[in-house]
């Protein structure tokens, strides 16, 4: 009798273990990835002085099964060569106290998760900057290895599209369009 109870208990544990393994196996096909590193840069070419900044504090999630991507960029984390530029950027242009993050949510098109190596793809979705949300289409590349995924893109943002105002006094210091480069390296969740 006691041997029967032990056998029954072992069988139940085996069934539970097999269910856990089966669930894990099916979720690996629809993998979600979280950024382990990021770099967002922007460059503004203007007659008086070029402006560039780098942000390494952005975060992102890429759901490979649904081809959905989200990234969030803390505005105050952009670093400039000159502290006065950084202060003006946060206080006068981006108003980062009121609008602390830029956000993109969208879907990736043209990406085949079954292929390794580099692929060209397009992310279509909504970008929110300075409290303004607009539809955008961003082209870039996705590189996949066994351990990670890397997404890179370069695109242009028009300041007027996001109601970022340039004082008339500074019109020669800041371009109306800014080149943005993004790079996210992801690891499985």
What's the structural domain count of the chain? 2
Are 22 and 88 contained in the same domain?
Answer: no
Q: What is the pLDDT of residue 162?
A: 97
CATH number, residue 54: 2.40.128.110
Are 137 and 117 contained in the same domain?
Answer: yes
Q: What is the dihedral of CA 61, 86, 130, 50, to 10 degrees?
A: -90
The structure's pTM equals: 0.81
Nearest to 73 by CA among 31, 109, 42, 107: 42
pLDDT tens for 115-174 read 999 999 999 999 999 999 999 999 999 999 989 999 999 999 999 999 998 766 555 567
Are 160 and 79 contained in the same domain?
Answer: yes
DSSP annotation of 85: H
What domain range includes position 143?
31-188
**Cα–Cα distance, 57 to 180 (Å, whole number):** 15
Are 19 and 79 contained in the same domain?
Answer: no
Are 37 and 5 contained in the same domain?
Answer: no
Question: Which pLDDT band, with edges at 50, 70 and 90, does 2 fall under?
Answer: low
Are 16 and 45 contained in the same domain?
Answer: no
Are 1 and 38 contained in the same domain?
Answer: no
- 66 phi, psi to nearest 5 deg: -100, -5
Are 130 and 178 contained in the same domain?
Answer: yes
């Amino acid at each position: 009798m006691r041997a029967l109870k032990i056998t029954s208990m072992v069988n139940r544990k085996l069934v539970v273990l097999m269910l856990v393994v089966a669930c894990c196996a099916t979720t690996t096909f629809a993998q979600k990835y979280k950024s382990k590193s990021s770099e967002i840069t922007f460059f503004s070419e203007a007659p008086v002085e070029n402006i560039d900044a780098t942000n390494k504090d952005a975060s992102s999630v890429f759901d490979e099964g649904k081809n959905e991507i989200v990234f969030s960029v803390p505005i105050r984390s952009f670093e400039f060569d000159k502290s006065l530029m950084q202060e003006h950027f946060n206080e006068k242009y981006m108003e980062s106290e009121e609008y602390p993050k830029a956000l993109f949510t969208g879907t990736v098109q043209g990406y085949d998760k079954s292929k390794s190596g580099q692929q060209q793809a397009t992310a279509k979705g909504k970008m929110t900057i300075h409290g303004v949300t607009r539809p955008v289409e961003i082209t870039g590349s996705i590189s996949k290895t066994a351990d990670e995924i890397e997404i890179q893109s370069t695109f242009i943002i028009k300041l007027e599209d996001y109601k970022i105002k340039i004082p008339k006094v500074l019109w020669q210091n800041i371009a109306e369009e800014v080149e943005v480069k993004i790079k996210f390296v992801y690891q499985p969740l």
